Structure 1
Amino acid sequence: MAEPLYRLPSRSEIISLAADEGHDADIPTNQGSILPTTLRSHSQSHNHGHDPTKHSTGIFDKDIEKGGTRPESLSSQEDNEDVHVEGRGEENDANVVWWDGPDDPENPLNWGYKKKWGTVILVAAITFLTPLASSSFAPGVPKVMETFHSQDDMLEGFMLSVYVLGFAFGPLLIAPLSEMFGRLWLYHACNLLFIVCTIVAAVSSSMGMFIAFRFLMGCFGGAPLVLGGGTIADLISREQRGTAMVVWMMGPTMGPCVGPIIGGFLIAAKGWRWNFWLIAILGGAFMLMSMVLMRETYAPVILARKTQRLRKSTGNSKLVSKLDSGLSPRDLFLFSIVRPAKMLTQSTICFAISFYVAVTYSYLYILFTTFTAVFTGQYGWHGGIVGLSFLGIGVGCLIGQLVFTHFSNVTVAKHLARGDFRPEHRLYMMTIGGFFLPVGLFWYGWGVQTQVHYMVPIVGTGVMGFGLMMTFMPANTYLVDVFTVHAASAMAAATVLRSLCAAFIPLSSQKMYAAMGYGWGNSMLGFVAIFLIPIPFLFIKYGEGIRARSTVKL
């Protein structure tokens, strides 16, 4: 049963929903938006045909690091006198277009059980496929190098990590487009372009052509990562949303680790090009299913279309959707492009946490780009069996995700019950994960160097995977809690830096191992990870003070 649709949403509910949808809370969700008074004035002027650029300067004046200082501020209007919950409308205003009662079938929250969960499962499948494609051909990298007659170690790593570079840039454009035109057509368009680029990569005749279309695969393949959380938030009530989000998050978590296992056997049997043909076939099947089964779920777009129909049928040009904020495409672009860049360069918290995650995430792709060479050269593995070398890190990531979900909820619930919760409490799990990462690196590196039984380094990669999840997931939740209204921009900043590091840092991994060996090479990475361990401890102790003194403006 959906929540009553006419109850006024709280500030915390709008922020939570906006974070799930992947945008800032001053962009409309299906419960409204939180707008600074300056932006509200701009919105009203825009609706009356005035020039929005004359009112836009005030939009970026609010301090963005102080919003999450106290948890009660998420729902307290007294703490945010310059903030207005927009999009409610007056229920007796005949010109405000809203749902036709709490059981309106057009509202995605009121769809049938099969329709809602069928959409969730389909979105989760698409979200699993695109991260899987990022690493599934890793066991075939030597064969690709042989096909294109290349011996460049840097290209050997870049052909794999360039896909993640696409993840950095594609979503920055996909996000604002989805706010303007809805999610459905972006699913279809990006699925189609992803399939086309995958097919072109499969038939590539040169290294340059292959790398270019791998990059484009990443750009378009990032769409479900941007849109999936919002689709789930559109469809599933708050009480059930956690389950759906866990199912959806399995894709980006497990896809890159499962991909090489599948790709290893397929490449051994059919060659590296067939890895891309399989991705294209699966992508085509999911696209056909989505075109038949999926419908638009984004409430502001559904109501905007309803408003247009009513304007046409009634002749009343004053009708306006209850969720229409009047934001121009220019403002949506600024929110998606300018805000993340400013937060990354001006916010100490955002940069430090993003940097920590970016470095540790790059370690994952160092492993992806070198596993095949390591286990082929050190242990004599060949054929499809090479893909099994990725099993340890996959299991470690899965365990890390489950452990974090359980203990993080317990920790937060305890502090909420005491009434002393701070965003920094999210980092307790990160302090633990920080120690597992260097331990895993030392374990894996020296296990390979001394050529002990292959299970020793594989277990070491499992320890690394556990440490990665225990740093990656607390960092994300911390950014959401700190930046509240602007959480999506903070997440976008972290995603860009993470993707850039994952694309470029692994390029030197082969030369590093050649010069230092696997033992000292991974030990150096471990020492860097040890150097980063104090970051969450420092923020636990000083984070609240840093936020209190913050002067970061948008």
Structure 2
Amino acid sequence: MIETIRDTGFGKLVRLFSGGQLLRFPEEEDPSIWTTYVKTSEETKPAQSEISGSEYDSYEEDLEAYGLYTVMSQASRVGRRTSTVTSAPALPSSAQRGSPTIITWAPDDPENPQNWSIPKKLLVSSQIWLLTFAIYIGSAIYSPGIPSAAQHFGISSVAATLGLTLFVLGYGVGPMLLSPLSELPAVGRSPTYVLTLVVFVFFNFGVIYARNLGMFLAFRFLTGFFGSPALATGGASMGDIWSPRARDYMIAVWGCFAISAPVLGPLVGGFAAAAKGWTWTIWPLMWVSGFTLVVLFVGLPETYAPNILSRRAARVRKITGDADCVSESELELRRVSKKDLLFEALIRPFQLSFLEPIVFLLNLYISLIYGILYIWFEAFPIIFEDLHGFNAGQNGLAFLGILVGTICLAIPGYFYWKSHYQIRYLDRNGNLPPEAQLPSACVGAVCLAFSLFWFGWTGNFASVHWIVPILASGLFSVGGCLIFNSIFTYEAHAYPTYAASVLAGNDFMRSSFGAAFPLFATAMFRNLGVGWACTLLGCLAVLFVPYPFVLLRFGRRLRLASRFARHDI
């Protein structure tokens, strides 16, 4: 427990104010320990060409496990493999050896997140899940308050909907600028999460006490912007601490929290808006995010290996007086220009998203599904309040169909398929090609398209029991969840060198669709009717149904024609 608290925000403050006398690290208690952390620069990881077979597969999985959902893959994939350095006597200085002293992991190092106990890993993971939930619920929790906000500011319902869409747009834009901070060895993930959450909590006061529409919309965008690191790098945090085999399951659980939060938002916000008006849709968001801030400040240790090793190297420099004691990530960053870092962070995601055909169509499909999810925040009141007489709180309960479909059907089904059937796609060398991730997306594509027609034509008539469109929404969540998990994993495996950039572009594109679709949702459903509006969306979904099947059949050929995708499998 002391080791966990020592590396949290609270523990760092205790060390700062005690002058490093409290919560000391092992090398501060016994300076001779630092020699077990050393490897010379000649012992750095081998080039890809020198690694083959299962060793390369393991090495590649280690690379993918870190920085998977962030935007500095080129600069950050260093210093992440556990070294097998044995205890050694005091070493000569760096100047005498003619090379820097590389500070890395000791054998079975307890500070290495990959070596943490299962309970500690689950404790840390649960905090990331809680953080993701606390931020993601902030988008849809406001939607039941749109009529009240429109009346308060004297604007149309479309203008009031901007409070929803700008929040979503903010957490699509934010990762482009904020997520790279968590990949810097000098910063790390925990400070990025905690500091941006502090801003998120306080900016929500600006939302509640906004004096005019401009102030309200500006603070909604900024809260989404500063809440974005959790949404963009939560998957990377799972990769920091879990083995590659367990990582996919933990990311799926994290994704379940990301889906559940906006679904529960209308439920919480509906009862709050019905009782106290639109401002009370934000107060529950304040409570859950404030509670999360306290939990993370006291209990979230750093999980990012380069940051842990960078701080360890700083302590070793202080103990030895040798300024050339550095971590491998610090050494690597010296070789990367600022221009290259900016290109990878800001340009590469757009280059891959719009100029790489495989990525563009996959991201477009994901974005369409995400846009439809946010359209439903406007469509549900038309169906369940206007046709079935629900109040705002009861309308929020209608979203539980999506939650039940995700938790009870999609996630267990995905886990079962992954553990029992995916192994059949291993090639003769025991490698799993990226296309092995796609069969569940094929099933999801059919389910999702069918659910839209089912939802539209059963929700179009008051004579049809209200439970029927809710069941259809549950099938939609099954299809969407299978597609999301499959496509995210496929993109990471098909573009391992550029996985961070590919997924950052995905995040930006789908958030843009999620921000734009609600603006025309009400007009579309009222002018076309629920049945025909959902038919239009269903036809768009049908257009994409063949795409996972095409990739499953011809994906390898398409990858070989790409200069960005992997060619070795």
TM-score (norm 1): 0.82
More divergent stretch after superposition (319-328 vs 191-200) = 319-328
Residues 1:372 and 2:381 are matched in the alignment = yes
Residues 1:502 and 2:514 are matched in the alignment = yes
Residues 1:353 and 2:362 are matched in the alignment = yes
Letter of the structure 2 residue corresponding to residue 442 of structure 1: F
Match of 1:297 in 2: 303
Residues 1:164 and 2:142 are matched in the alignment = no
Match of 2:425 in 1: 415
More divergent stretch after superposition (23-32 vs 224-233) = 23-32
Shift of 1:23: 5.1
The 3 A distance-change label for structure 1 pair 307 and 19 is closer
Shift of 1:543: 2.0
The 3 A distance-change label for structure 1 pair 100 and 447 is closer
Shift of 1:286: 1.6
Partners of 1:548 and 1:100 in 2: how far apart?
37
More divergent stretch after superposition (233-242 vs 318-327) = 233-242
More divergent stretch after superposition (254-263 vs 367-376) = 367-376
Q: Could you list the per-position Cα deviations for residues 327-380 of structure 1 after superposition, in whole angstroms to 9, with x for gaps in the alignment? A: 345433321211111101221111011111111211000001232233211111
Contact 1:408-1:429 at 8 Å conserved across structures:
no
Shift of 1:386: 1.6
- RMSD of the alignment, in Å? 2.9
The 3 A distance-change label for structure 1 pair 248 and 506 is same
Contact 1:372-1:386 at 8 Å conserved across structures:
yes
Letter of the structure 1 residue corresponding to residue 517 of structure 2: I
Match of 2:289 in 1: 283
Match of 1:202 in 2: 208
Shift of 1:515: 1.8
Contact 2:146-2:157 at 8 Å conserved across structures:
no
Equivalent residue of 1:101, what SS?
coil
Equivalent residue of 2:534, what SS?
helix
Partners of 2:113 and 2:443 in 1: how far apart?
40
Unaligned stretches of 5+ in structure 1? 34-86
Match of 1:536 in 2: 548
Letter of the structure 1 residue corresponding to residue 480 of structure 2: L
Partners of 2:270 and 2:481 in 1: how far apart?
24
The 3 A distance-change label for structure 1 pair 247 and 423 is closer
Contact 1:133-1:259 at 8 Å conserved across structures:
yes
Shift of 1:511: 1.5
Q: Could you list the per-position Cα deviations for residues 156-189 of structure 1 after superposition, in whole angstroms to 9, with x for gaps in the alignment? A: 4332222211121111112211112111221121
Shift of 1:403: 1.7
Match of 2:232 in 1: 226
Unaligned stretches of 5+ in structure 2? 1-35, 46-54, 95-99
More divergent stretch after superposition (408-417 vs 468-477) = 408-417
Superposed counterparts of 1:217-296, under 5 Å: 217-238=223-244, 241=247, 244-296=250-302
Segments of 4+ in structure 1 off by > 6 A? 4-9, 87-94
The 3 A distance-change label for structure 1 pair 210 and 238 is same
Contact 1:138-1:372 at 8 Å conserved across structures:
no
The size of the alignment, in residue pairs, is 497
Shift of 1:542: 2.4
Partners of 2:216 and 2:340 in 1: how far apart?
36
Partners of 1:510 and 1:100 in 2: how far apart?
56
Match of 2:398 in 1: 389
Partners of 1:338 and 1:90 in 2: how far apart?
39
Partners of 2:160 and 2:446 in 1: how far apart?
30
Partners of 1:463 and 1:320 in 2: how far apart?
52
Shift of 1:131: 0.8
Residues 1:486 and 2:498 are matched in the alignment = yes
Letter of the structure 2 residue corresponding to residue 496 of structure 1: F
TM-score (norm 2): 0.80
Q: Pick the aligned partner of 1:476 from 463, 482, 488.
A: 488
Shift of 1:24: 5.9
Equivalent residue of 2:329, what SS?
coil
Letter of the structure 2 residue corresponding to residue 170 of structure 1: G
Residues 1:14 and 2:62 are matched in the alignment = yes
Equivalent residue of 1:449, what SS?
coil
The 3 A distance-change label for structure 1 pair 411 and 333 is farther
